[in-house]
Amino acid sequence: MKLRAGTDKKLTSGWARQTQMVRAGTMRSELGEMSEALFLTSGFSYETAEEAEARFDGRAEGYTYSRQSNPNLTMLETRMALLEGAETGRATATGMAAMTASLLAGLRAGDHVLGARALFGSCRWLLDELLPRYGIETTVIDGTDLDAWKKGVRPNTKVFFLETPANPTLEIIDLKSVADIAHENGAKLVVDNVFATPILQRPMEMGADIVCYSTTKHIDGQGRCLGGMILCDKEWDEEVLFPFYRHTGCAMAPFNAWMMHKSMETLNLRVHAMCDNAEKVAAAVADKLDDVRHPVLDSFKQQNLALSQMDRGGTMVVFELPGGRDQAFKFLNALEVADISNNLGDSRSIATHPWSTTHKAIAEETRLELGITPGLIRFSVGLEDANDLIADILTALDKAEA
Ligand SMILES: Cc1ncc(COP(=O)(O)O)c(C=O)c1O
Indicate whether 56 pLDDT > 60.
yes
Indicate whether 3 pLDDT > 70.
no
Segment 96-115 shows an average pLDDT of: 98
Please give the torsion angle defined by the CA atoms of residues 171, 183, 160 and 141, in that order, rounded to the nearest 10 degrees.
-60
The Cβ-side half-sphere exposure at 362, using a 13 Å CA radius, reads 27
pLDDT digits (tens, 9 = 90+) for 130-179: 999 999 999 999 999 999 999 999 999 999 999 999 999 999 999 999 99
Across the strands, what pairs with 318?
Answer: 293, 378
254 close to 363: Cβ distance less than 8 angstroms: no
213/94 Cα distance (integer angstroms): 9
Q: What beta strand segments (E) does 150-309 contain?
A: 157-163, 188-192, 210-214, 228-232, 292-293
Specify if 260 maps to a domain: yes
| Final residue of a structural domain among 222, 239, 265 | 265
210 close to 158: Cβ distance less than 8 angstroms: no
The predicted pLDDT at position 5 comes to: 46
Residues 149 and 256 in one domain: yes
Which of the four pLDDT bands, split at 50, 70 and 90, describes residue 11? low
The pTM for the full model equals 0.96
- Residue 328's nearest CA partner among 289, 377, 399 is 377
Residue with CA closest to ligand 1 atom 8: 95
197/215 Cα distance (integer angstroms): 9
Instruction: Pick from 127, 171, 194 the residue to mutate for probing ligand 1's pocket: most ligand atoms within 8 Å of its CB.
Output: 194
Specify if 8 maps to a domain: no
Terminal Cα distance for the chain, rounded: 64
User: Using alpha carbons only, what angle is made at residue 72 by residues 265 and 58, rounded to the nearest 5 degrees?
Assistant: 135
The predicted pLDDT at position 234 comes to: 97
| Final residue of a structural domain among 221, 245, 265 | 265
Residues 260 and 272 in one domain: no
The predicted pLDDT at position 29 comes to: 86
Indicate whether 62 pLDDT > 50.
yes
Residue with CA closest to ligand 1 atom 15: 120
pLDDT digits (tens, 9 = 90+) for 245-293: 999 999 999 999 999 999 999 999 999 999 999 999 999 999 999 999 9
Residues 181 and 191 in one domain: yes
The Å distance, Cα 229 to ligand 1 centre, comes to 11
Specify if 138 maps to a domain: yes
The predicted pLDDT at position 10 comes to: 56
Residues 357 and 299 in one domain: yes
What CATH number should be reported for the domain holding residue 242?
3.40.640.10
Residues 95 and 226 in one domain: yes
pLDDT digits (tens, 9 = 90+) for 320-374: 999 999 999 999 999 999 999 999 999 999 999 999 999 998 899 999 999 999 9
Specify if 2 maps to a domain: no
Exposure string for 203-224, b = 16+ CB within 10 A, e = fewer: bbebbbbbbbbbbbbbbbbbbe
Indicate whether 4 pLDDT > 60.
no
pLDDT digits (tens, 9 = 90+) for 12-31: 778 899 999 999 888 888 88
The predicted pLDDT at position 15 comes to: 87
Which of the four pLDDT bands, split at 50, 70 and 90, describes residue 402? confident
Domain boundaries, position 97: 66-265
| Final residue of a structural domain among 212, 243, 265 | 265
* 163 CA: nearest ligand 1 atom: 1
Residues 240 and 324 in one domain: no
Average pLDDT, the chain: 95
The Å distance, Cα 163 to ligand 1 centre, comes to 11
pLDDT above 70 coverage of the chain, percent: 97
* 167 CA: nearest ligand 1 atom: 1
Q: What beta strand segments (E) does 314-395 contain?
A: 316-320, 339-340, 350-352, 376-380
Residues 261 and 271 in one domain: no
* Ligand 1 pocket at CB < 6 A: 94-96, 99, 120, 122-123, 163, 167, 192, 194-195, 214, 216, 226, 228
Indicate whether 203 pLDDT > 50.
yes
Alpha helices (H) along 239-385 = 242-248, 254-263, 267-286, 303-309, 324-334, 364-370
Residues 375 and 396 in one domain: yes
Residue with CA closest to ligand 1 atom 14: 343
pLDDT above 90 coverage of the chain, percent: 92
* 99 CA: nearest ligand 1 atom: 4
Residues 261 and 329 in one domain: no
The predicted pLDDT at position 206 comes to: 98
Specify if 38 maps to a domain: no
Burial class (CB in 10 A: 0-12, 13-18, 19+), 135: exposed
Specify if 215 maps to a domain: yes
Residues 132 and 221 in one domain: yes
Across the strands, what pairs with 320?
Answer: 376
Residues 321 and 377 in one domain: yes
Residues 261 and 272 in one domain: no
Specify if 4 maps to a domain: no
Specify if 289 maps to a domain: yes
Segment 60-69 shows an average pLDDT of: 95
183 close to 293: Cβ distance less than 8 angstroms: no
Number of structural domains the chain divides into:
2
The predicted pLDDT at position 7 comes to: 57
